[in-house]
Amino acid sequence: MPTPPSHERLVAQLLADARPVRPLWSPHTRLAVWLVLQALTLGFAVEFGLRQDLGAHLRQPLFLLEVGALIAAGATAAAVALRAAVPGPAADGQ
């Protein structure tokens, strides 16, 4: 089936406007960089937080579960967001 002339004109116009682009880092790499930034944030909170009894709290399973669930959910949401910005099944490579 021949390509409609309007499609060919659109492709020609897109090619005429095309500029070199820098390839995106893979979602995994961008997630790793973002998680490093977040680790620094958490480290800042541990170092400069107002809680005097943090050592005792870090031995409580409920407290660890709360913080762990928040961090795990945040990391999952970031991974899904970065993956959603690169459509297509072979997104991991680009």
Partner 1 sequence: MTLSVLLVAAAVALVSLEPATAIRSVRGFVASGAQCLACILAFSALPWIALFLALRRGAPLDAPLAGAYAGAAAFLFAAAAVRIACPIDEGLHLLTWHTLPIAMGAAFSAIAGARWLGRWQRALDRREVP
CB 94 within 8 A of CB 42: no
The answer to whether 89 contacts partner 1 (rule: CB under 8 A) is no
> How many residues contact partner 1, by CB under 8 A?
43
CB-neighbour burial class of residue 34 (10 A; exposed 0-12, middle 13-18, buried 19+): middle
Distance of CA 72 to the CA centre of its chain: 13
The answer to whether 36 contacts partner 1 (rule: CB under 8 A) is no
Which residues bind to partner 1, rule: CB under 8 A? 6, 9-10, 13-14, 24, 30, 34, 37-38, 41-42, 44-46, 48-54, 62, 65-67, 69-78, 80-82, 84-87
